Chain A
């Protein structure tokens, strides 16, 4: 049997210490041992039964229950005050074989895999690479769980691919304690798995585009995501190069995403006029430099011997800025906010990417382990890419007027079909500021006030925007979610109310949902026109 340990806790915190938040119980489920003799399907179903038992316990106690993965989100989206479930040890992996495909499926079976919720990006990549496959994209690093990634919309800067949820083709949800509460969900327009295969998971099948798209970015509140079917692709290599280019040119490329007349002039390679796989612009808001460091990554064909040509993309020796030094800088900044620009400029060689030689590697090698694990904040706004430079200018000016210890970057992602995806523009530019946390008690503007001003400045300038669900924001800003998503909020709530019974809607709610009003029921479902 899968086993769950339940710890009494008083608090819980995110990886980057954006809390702490109050908590009663912390639950960790581990799978039945390999020596049990159970096959993987039996272990998976055994784990599902365990999760249903835990959901029932929470419901019987009138408590909330929330699954968490690697807790990389900086907002409180992963937090629930009663019971939090650490699912990282639930990491079974299933390749899909030809006879397991739906008869109308257009997918190549060898590209499909079912991963249990707790599989982390790094182990998924390792598993896929041994089969000659790769994820289509990931975030900037590799520690998130697959369920955590899709619940919050984790993205990279892959212009023509999208976010992690955009290559998900099936979801196994547990929405309650009853047998019929184990659901397998996929799009009716793009079915993937054969019914007889899904029966291995004792799941009720729902094929519906709207339901699937709403559940895809479910904010941890569409039930317990037990399994995720993803579409991978054949291994490929990424050719990474960082160089400084004229600020005006970098911003023009951001606003147009038209690379047809642009030559990045990368030594030893010809990418003249080629649209990159990944385009990222870094800017220090406190610098007047007329050039921006820009990261260009191009996709090239995989070959075995690439390390002989380009060296190992993963450094043999890693060095980090002394953590206490960073914290010392923040202490100074808290007392003397005017020193922030100088401090950021002092640290810029450590926090901005350096112009360096070409790096070539697999996706998992280019977006490798995260370096900094200490206290951090990040605010990330999605705007239509045609508004990139304007949004950056407004937010950077706001930051110069109200200095905070961070630098900006812009990343670009293709539109998602998920109902509440923040990548909702044809191409979304994520304008983000990342930095080190400071104390709200000191002289610097508070993070809450700063992020509120960010919302106001975009609204005042009529720039439609979204906010990354996993990042810091003034989430209690009145009408924020409706402003960002309009009628899609009702669509999302409607699906949630269809999938979850009323008691289960409360079990799978959380403070983040309360703050954003997403846990509030629709006024009268019958009157809704969505």
Chain B
């Protein structure tokens, strides 16, 4: 900006001065003319054309990493039906540094009830009905964000979070309205990759074994997620 003004003034001064000199020399009008000349201010571009190239600033976009997607594997205990491996996937969106929303799906398989094992009789459920799949939509809060140190030279950002939400579980031939809550620990290996340890309780009502009751299905899993 400053240099442009300087060029403008220099150009103006040159024109005025040369104009003065020319008119003075040619027409001998000297002092009278020179007083009115600055007001005329001929176009400066004719003498000096400042080739100022405007810098085209194309600003690189800032990489926002608020989404988190990943997979997990762990152990899930289905009340009355033993424990088995559970695996699934999750996606989360971080709204603020504290709050995030999360959706997850998971699948495991129900084993035999103690009664089925002891009696040796007909199984209560068919194989397809033993498949236990769930989805849930949760709200989470990073309750204890922090850092951990490994040795002298390494520090990792971590967070202990709590989640709670609603969803549905397909088990024993029906979809069941499910409430789940739990806590987890997020360990950021880099700014974009995190390890998770999660513990959750899935509650729903079931009347499979006679009277209706609320069952607790506890799940613990390890997961990896990537932020993008």
Are A and B interaction partners?
no
